[in-house]
Every structure is written in structure tokens, then in C-alpha cells.
Structure 1
């Protein structure tokens, strides 16, 4: 287990990490997939990005009914797949294809209900320290997150350590087979009772700690980054030459879970259609990008999943695992008011003037 980096290495990386403070978070572009009729979602995310100095590239999502039968990959039966699932797959493939076509070195792909802590750029610097712990070089890599990665899972519903998945040894992180980077005393971590995670036992043993680790099997795709190499691998495996054996987020996760770079070739037994992708995938747990559930009609939440209670209303918006949710603090950011802690009233727990915090950080 890696506890951090030395002061000398940290100072040598300072210039590199400054690139994370740009409008695209150190990536070449930040894409968002959005259905044209969901103007409400575009309004919300556009405002959130503007308030936190992030530039978005919007791309139009497709409905499954707009995808021709001949364009469906092996494994997809239109009668068994939801229209939203097919549309989500093709929409993401369109973005990934554009990354390949335009030779984009790295890109972050967000869903249109994404949310993040107002301190996201600070969080990403700590993440970058972990993602580069094995690849610190005297010369500046192309990405502030290091070179050699295919996917960075920044937003997911849950992930676990590689030792916890079938075919790997289940051992404690204190004697882990794979290297982990621990971000201790993370002030942006939610209280333990409000932390949603698949590694809750590890979080109890290491309170207020966020982990950067090889991906074990993340679900959901609220926010993930692809390098150029990673985009090519995903486009090949999930469209050009593969078999789509699961919904998009699980299919990408399978590329990480079944073709890990640390396994010997003879150990690879992934699902059919994913021949030797050998993805290098890194996750941060708990995730830094969350799926926001807004105040209003619950039936408006998802464009993929079926809605069962169409009359239900959510009185207060929520974003799992985010302390200073950017969406929930939109009015405070506009008016220059202290940030509201999502889980504890700001009168009770150290609310802080965000502008002052940024100036002093």
C-alpha cells in the first residue's frame, strides 16, 4: 500500500499538476452526452460547469430506435434490450469514435446528470498523485495523470479492489497484491454514515481516506476518462470487432475486470468478443463524480431505466458522496455565500467561504 509521495517528488510534480486547474481539468476535452429534448439537464449541468470554471463539449445523444438493426453489434437483441440501453451504447460510441477520429490525446466523458464537489480540481490533484505513483518521470508526460493508462473511472456507482473479484486473492489492503494510493485526512470525504461504497470495511479501518487503485469492476458511467489508446481499445471491443454482452457501463467494466494488465496472458478468461483488450484502468473510491438526483419529479431522473412511480416527487436534491455538491450550492456560488455541507447543516459544521478557500489554496 502506498501512503503518498515524498516532498521532493511532490515539488517536482507541481508544474504538471497545475494543468489540472485549466477549464478541461487537464484533459484535452470534456464531453457531455445529452438528448436534445432534455434541455433541463443541459441547463443544470451548464450552470454547474460555469460556476466551477469547467468547459464542456456537448454531443447529441441518440435513441435506440434511431440505430439501425444492421449497426447493432453481436450480442444485442433489440427485443431483449431496452431502447435506452441501445441508445446509450451508440451515443457513447459516437463520442469515443470522435476521440479516435480527431486524435484527442485524452478526454473526460460525463453524463448529463453529473455532479461534483466544488473542490473537484483540488481532489483531482490528489488523484493525479496516485495515478502517477508508478510513472513519475524526469520529463513531463502528456497527461498530468501520467502516461500509460487507458481508462480513469472518476464517476461510478461503486467499485471494489481487484483482490475482491473472482480469480484474485482476497486479502486486506495492508498486504495488497496491487499497489494502492491512500489519500488520508481527506476533508472532502462525507461522514462515514453517509458514504456509499463497496469497500465500506476498508473505509472503517481507514477513516477519511480516499483510495486510488486498479479498477476491480466499477458500475455506472457518470464520469470516465479515456486516453487515445483506451478509446481505440473500447471502440474495437464494443463496436467494431466485439460482442456486446452487457449494458455499456458494465461492458466497459468487463474490459477492465477481465483483461487486467497485471495478469499473465494464460490467465485471461474474459467474455467472448473481448480478445485480449488488456486495459489499464484506474479508479478513485469513493468516486469524485456523482449522479445528481434533482428536486422535482422522480420520473424525470433517467432516460434509460424504466420509471415505476411516475407521480413521486423529490423535495430536496441529492448527490451521493459529495460534501459541497456544486449543483446543491449553485445559489451560494452565484451569491458568494458560504458552501452548504450536504450532510450536516453548515451552521453546525465548518462552512467556509468558497472564494476565500480558493484564494488561499
Structure 2
């Protein structure tokens, strides 16, 4: 046989492979992706929107298919890390199962015993308790790893973090809101599904507040079944929700996304490479004497090194409290453990908690239980739990 037929065979094979790849690149979205990408009715007019023109323009800027990445195994971030003391195997067990049923993968990072951190390794101004020092160092170890390994974006959980069963659907709405707050340009391929230019996304906290320099722009998510009832919220500080919760059209199930002046507690937050570098400098190389969360809060408040924070209230990530003696709940400590008693399980800041619904999830059910049956629907299907859709609101000055 001559060499020509063989070459023709290779050419034909190459053309066939190229054709398949070209088809795949232009294929229609799968049904799951279509659920995420179909934003035709996503930006319904808001009751409190002051100007339809700018809001409609901003809405168009958010119509970007890359937002589907928030539903992958790392929630649209390059990495997910979970911090846990090696001795707390109970918390590691719980988090592993919770992440598995939620379709998430993560890297486990060891927590730090503050007594093991030598004084010479602390900022010379630091005078915190060993528990606060351990928490500070554990978070900085993760942040140092992000800087060292050039991780572009990472989501950091503490080991008692919990979230609603509709977490991935909630994150789609949060990502749309974050893009608006960050003024991510229309039709660009953003740095992250959550937008361009962010240093920190504070999604799990025990209090947060709006930055006064940008207090007129909000992404508002009404009629959200996962919003904790106002009378049950326990937070250090909160945004003023009266605009959305009072009046004839008041809605106690509203969540907002906004530019944040700060927050308290670090159940979950995302940080970018640029944000990690700024945080490592501020909390390790400069004079410093605060717990880790107040270090982040100060960066957000002062916009030191142009630190850019986006937050959400009520929070998307809460804290799991298993049925146990309450001394089991925290490794930081809140009082005399000897005087603690056994209390029933709860999930702070959540309604349809993943951990509280673990038996339902493992049984393959799609209807889940509220931990507040007296003030929220006792049971809801997953489609109804994740039904909320947000819109832009520009408030009059």
C-alpha cells in the first residue's frame, strides 16, 4: 500500500475529532445548567427600586453564563478549605458527610492550639487569649497557603459551619448580587463567577453592616424561605432591614447583598489572592492586636490597601450545634464548661439546615424539615426552598 491512503486516514480522523470538539463547544446547556442560566425573568421589578433605567442596565450586565460555575464542587472558587483541630474528629466527621451530600470537595486544614504559638511568632503588639491566638494563626496558615501556592480564590469554612439544603441555588443569587455590587462590566468573562475586584466575600458571620460609602445600592432577594425569622435572629450587628420588612408590602423573608463595612465571626468567607496578600500583611507583619474577624472587619471598614468586601444578610452559612453538652459546641470557649448542660441540636441563622436534615438527605428525600415549624413552613420541597430570585434596587439619596 502507498503512504497516501494512510495520510488521508489521519486527516479524516483529525477532521472528525475537530468536528466533535467544535460541536461540544457550542452544545446546548444540560437541563441542570439551563436551570442556572435561564435568567429571563430573574430581574423582576423591585418594589423599592427608584429608577428603572439604571436598574435595567445593571441587570443586563449580570447576564453571564459563567455564573453556572457556582454550582460546581468548589462552588466556583479554585479551592475550598476547612479548618479543624485534629482532636475534633467529631466535627471532621460531620463536615465530611455534610460536604459529600452537598456535592462539595475541600481540603482539610489543621486548627492551631494557641498555647503552641511562641511569643516571638506573634506581632509584638498582640495580647490575646491563647484561644484567640490559635484561631488567628489557623486562619493565617490557610491564608499563607493561598498566597504561597498562588490560589486565585478560596472559600474557607470553620468545622462547625452549616448551610441550608438549597445552598448552591442560594449562591447563584448571591453571585448575581455580588457582580452588581462590584460593578462587574457587562458581557465580560469575570475573574470569578462572583465578579471582579473583590477581596473578601463574607457569607458566614454573626453580624455584618453596610459600608457608608456605598449604602444606596443593594441586590434584594425577597420571599426567600431560607431567611431566618427576624424575632429569632441573634447577631452582633445588622443592616437596617426596615425598608424591606415594614409597611404594607413588608416581607420578613428578604435577604440583601451589599458592600460591607465589616462583620463578626468567620464561619465561612471567601478570599481572593489579592485579598489574602493584604490580610497576611495587615494581620501578621504590621502591629496587630485583635481576633481574626476584627482584623478582617478593620480591613473592610478602612478599605486599607483598597480592601473590597461584599456581604449578605441574613447570612448564607450558619453554625451547627449538635445535641450535646454545650461545652462541645465551641473550641474557643464561652464560660465555665463544668457548669454546662445538654441542649438539643440547632443550626444558628438557618431554616432548612443540611445537618439537621441529614437523615432526610441520606434517605434520598426531597422534602425537608424547618427547625422553626411554628414560624416557617414545617416542611418544604427542595424546589420551593430554593425558589427565591433577586433584583437590583438603587435607593434614593
TM-score, normalised to structure 1's length? 0.83
Alignment partner of 1:157 out of 183, 206, 213 = 206
1:29 to 79, 91, 101: 79
Q: Which residue of 2 aligns with 1:278?
A: 306
| 2:90 corresponds to 1:68 | no
Is the counterpart of residue 120 in structure 1 residue 170 in structure 2? no
Structure 2 residue aligned with 1:193: 231
The answer to whether 1:180 aligns with 2:209 is: no
Q: Please say if 1:296 is aligned against 2:324.
A: yes
Q: Residue 69 of structure 1: CA displacement? A: 1.5
2: distance between equivalents of 1:243 and 1:69? 14
Q: Identify the structure with the greater strand proportion.
A: 2
Contiguous gaps of at least 5 residues in structure 2? 1-47, 390-397
Query: TM-score under structure 2 normalisation?
Result: 0.76
The range that moved more, 205-214 or 113-122, is 205-214
Q: Pick closer, same or farther for the CA change 1:357–1:250 going to 2, 3 Å.
A: closer
Give the structure with the higher percent helix: 2
1:98 aligned residue (145, 155, 158): 145
- Structure 1: how far apart are the matches of 2:206 and 2:345? 17
How far apart are 1:354 and its partner, in Å?
Answer: 3.6
Instruction: Quote how far apart the aligned CAs of 1:279 are.
Output: 0.7
Deviations 1:261-315 (A, max 9, x none): xxxxxxxxxxxxxxx4221001001110112111101111111124324343343
Correspondent of 1:340 among 361, 369, 393:
369
> Does residue 137 in structure 1 map to residue 137 in structure 2?
no
Q: 1:204 aligns with which of 215, 233, 245?
A: 245
Q: Give the CA deviation at 1:193.
A: 2.5
Larger Cα-atom Rg: 2
Give the root-mean-square deviation of aligned CA atoms.
2.6
Whole-angstrom distance in 1 between the partners of 2:92 and 2:133: 21
Deviation at 1:11, TM superposition (A): 7.8
Instruction: State the 1:177 CA deviation.
Output: 4.2
CA contact (8 A) 2:62 2:186 kept: no
Q: Which stretch of structure 1 is more off in the superposition, 327-336 or 202-211?
A: 202-211
* CA contact 1:292–1:320 (8 Å) conserved in 2: yes
Q: 1:246 maps to which residue?
A: 290
Q: Which runs of 5+ in 1 are unaligned?
A: 169-175, 260-275
Q: Structure 1 residues 179, 353: closer, same or farther in 2, change over 3 A?
A: closer
